[in-house]
Structure 1
């Protein structure tokens, strides 16, 4: 924490200062571009996925800049207080830690959105383009499944936390309980801990979670994917028919056309013979 406070007062290197200045200029440039697109597209701008990602990058970046100056001010206040008292007075660093955590969260989300942005930048690559198109085609299904899974998961999260908060260390907090449930979903959890916590509720809740989440929700997702894929294949087959399947029909049409030409020639020859030509 001390090193982080020192780094807020002065930049530790020229490279850090140059990178920060370039980053701010890039953010200003992106803001101008997005404002122009917003005026051109209006409400359609918010219907595009990459526009939301771009807004996330800009929002987190602007928030990081504001929180950075807030942390800079807090570091100056603490350093001045330390100089005035020579360190003989208790200095509360709770606000400084809180501000530093907010800045860390914003930078983390900014990096997250930036990594997703790389998918669009590398769309010239065939594999990346295929990955992006796959996500685009199944976006609605993923959102619907995520909502359903989130509701079921949150219900079990509340159940395990309230039942075993005083009996299991892995359920001491909501975050730890969520981690335990994800481990159970991946089949990497030692069920003996739950069995030892309660003779009846432990096995019952564990079995209920495995049945509803692992075997029902995830299996339902696979079934839904297979049905959707089958429907898409049917639509594709109806729109784009394989030429081999129509090969025999094409041959029949060709033979009928040749036969018609032959009959027409016979009729013309018979007419010429009757006319004596």
Structure 2
């Protein structure tokens, strides 16, 4: 009933607001009327913002975190045996990978018995991880390799070293068949054009490779992995292995798409990492989902109205339209919203096609990773959209005296802050380069230049590990830390605060000397109440 009444309310409100904001300004244009129009626009925008928040919070739930947690505990923390404590997180070599693949991985994927060792006959030919999460199709394992002689050997060592495998690059990727040279296990398979590349710890990996799928039976999977291990499927040129599979939990209507990654860098050893995406791909199941669907319709109507409004502004203001930061923010919000609507439509169609393919052949790997990858990027985009949507509220409350003081303070001290920022970042980046060169080979927080920058911001906020710096260099470590804290924290940071405080004091003094002739928001609200009362007590102006 509320959903049916809302469009009627919105229509009458828009009609009334239009009368106040369009017809009235033709008669008399004053600051009071401008503030009234702004407040009316604010009320409509709050309705839009409420609808947007309902949609965004309807996409997430605490069940996503718990599903990721139980799945990660199962596949990342489970050890090989009571005597061998090797797990996915502690993996350090190719030997450890085979132990994990033939042990905790298969034990986690195939659940065909109850806790009392009774066979799950009702779940024949399917696996229910933790008895609640249906394994969709089968799991896929894929590796990428590099060619031999892709790096240069120093002449002194050429007599001792005949093979050289560089770190992973797309140009150095080995696509030639090897081993038994039959099937996709031993021959290279190209990726689809839409397959996302993987950003790992040591490289940026393409979507192709040498891949195979595990059988539906645990016994057959053990035999297949044993054959690959005996025939040397992993070589010195192997740089990364991907283990992909997906599960669906009908209790909470969530898909969990899992990707386990093991990188074998050119230095030797293994670097394990993982990705767990819990996403809601089937949107309309419960009554609450249909309520969200109604909110989506309202959201689309709002966006359509905003598009028309922006076109009218561009046509009226022309080039002046692009000189306002608020107009750029409006264009950003509308653009992100249009993309969100288009992605929702595409996702609905793509999930239907994937489900049809899965139901027709349960022995294939369903590529839900592609949808999960873009779903998470979509969620990030929506989060940014909601953030800027809240920031836009400042556009409607800028007539308030306090907000005017704050905006005047920032605009007046902008030049001083820019000059200070140049000096600050010169010193900041000088310390970052010093830390990278001195501690980069021994301290994880300084292992890359980007890590140095974030580490120094953490030091400013009080989060630091002085013992690791001192252990890396007993002389330069304390000198670096003490001088950085003194110059950046005690000097530069306080200079920044002093610039803003002095400017704010000047602006506040100017506002105290010059009497304000503008309406306060309390007066405006009282006048709006009187207008509403008159509209109900007197005949309609257009009747």
Q: Distance in 1 between matches of 2:360 and 2:305?
A: 43
CA deviations over 1:82-123 (Å, ceiling 9, x no partner)? 21222x323344322320122012101101101111222334
Among 68, 73, 76, which residue is 2:344 paired with? Answer: 68
Among 383, 388, 409, which residue is 1:108 paired with? Answer: 383
CA deviations over 1:108-153 (Å, ceiling 9, x no partner)? 1101101111222334654445434434444454555556656655
Q: Is the 8 A contact 1:78 1:91 kept in 2?
A: yes
1:11 aligns with 2:284: yes
**Relative to structure 1, is the Cα distance of residues 225 and 127 closer, same or farther in structure 2, using a 3 angstrom cutoff?**
closer
**Structure 2: tracts of 5 or more residues without a match:** 1-63, 65-247, 249-253, 256-277, 515-543
Which residue of the partner structure matches residue 467 of structure 2? 192
Q: Distance in 2 between matches of 1:153 and 1:59?
A: 36
Q: Is the 8 A contact 2:446 2:452 kept in 1?
A: yes
- The 5 A counterparts of 1:143-222 are 145=420, 149=424, 153=428, 160=435, 164=439, 167-171=442-446, 177-222=452-497
1:29 aligns with 2:305: yes
More helix per residue: 1 or 2?
A: 1
Among 360, 366, 380, which residue is 1:91 paired with? Answer: 366
CA deviations over 1:198-238 (Å, ceiling 9, x no partner)? 3345334434543553345324434544675688799x69x
Q: Is the 8 A contact 1:70 1:99 kept in 2?
A: no
Shift of 1:20: 0.9
Q: Distance in 2 between matches of 1:198 and 1:71?
A: 53
CA deviations over 1:61-86 (Å, ceiling 9, x no partner)? 12222333343344334323321222
Question: TM-score under structure 2 normalisation?
Answer: 0.37
CA deviations over 1:38-71 (Å, ceiling 9, x no partner)? 2222332222221222122112212222333343
**Relative to structure 1, is the Cα distance of residues 62 and 155 closer, same or farther in structure 2, using a 3 angstrom cutoff?**
farther
Shift of 1:184: 0.6
Structure of greater relative contact order (alpha carbons < 8 Å, 6+ residues apart):
2
**Relative to structure 1, is the Cα distance of residues 232 and 187 closer, same or farther in structure 2, using a 3 angstrom cutoff?**
same
**Relative to structure 1, is the Cα distance of residues 92 and 137 closer, same or farther in structure 2, using a 3 angstrom cutoff?**
same
**Structure 1: tracts of 5 or more residues without a match:** 241-277
Q: Distance in 1 between matches of 2:424 and 2:336?
A: 28
Q: Is the 8 A contact 1:71 1:99 kept in 2?
A: no
Q: Is the 8 A contact 1:68 1:103 kept in 2?
A: no
**Relative to structure 1, is the Cα distance of residues 15 and 229 closer, same or farther in structure 2, using a 3 angstrom cutoff?**
closer
Q: Distance in 2 between matches of 1:36 and 1:189?
A: 53
Among 60, 78, 82, which residue is 2:358 paired with? Answer: 82
Q: Distance in 2 between matches of 1:203 and 1:76?
A: 60
Question: TM-score under structure 1 normalisation?
Answer: 0.66
Q: Distance in 2 between matches of 1:40 and 1:151?
A: 45
Q: Distance in 2 between matches of 1:74 and 1:204?
A: 58
Q: CA RMSD in A?
A: 3.8
Q: Is the 8 A contact 1:63 1:106 kept in 2?
A: no
Q: Is the 8 A contact 1:119 1:132 kept in 2?
A: no
- The 5 A counterparts of 1:259-270 are none
Which residue of the partner structure matches residue 397 of structure 2? 122
Whichever of the two has the greater Rg, that structure is: 1
Please state whether the residue corresponding to 1:43 is helix, strand or coil: helix
Q: Distance in 2 between matches of 1:132 and 1:53?
A: 17
Q: Distance in 1 between matches of 2:308 and 2:458?
A: 45
**Relative to structure 1, is the Cα distance of residues 90 and 112 closer, same or farther in structure 2, using a 3 angstrom cutoff?**
same
Q: Distance in 2 between matches of 1:173 and 1:70?
A: 39
Please state whether the residue corresponding to 2:463 is helix, strand or coil: coil
More strand per residue: 1 or 2?
A: 2
**Relative to structure 1, is the Cα distance of residues 42 and 96 closer, same or farther in structure 2, using a 3 angstrom cutoff?**
same
How many residues were matched structurally? 237
**Relative to structure 1, is the Cα distance of residues 85 and 50 closer, same or farther in structure 2, using a 3 angstrom cutoff?**
same
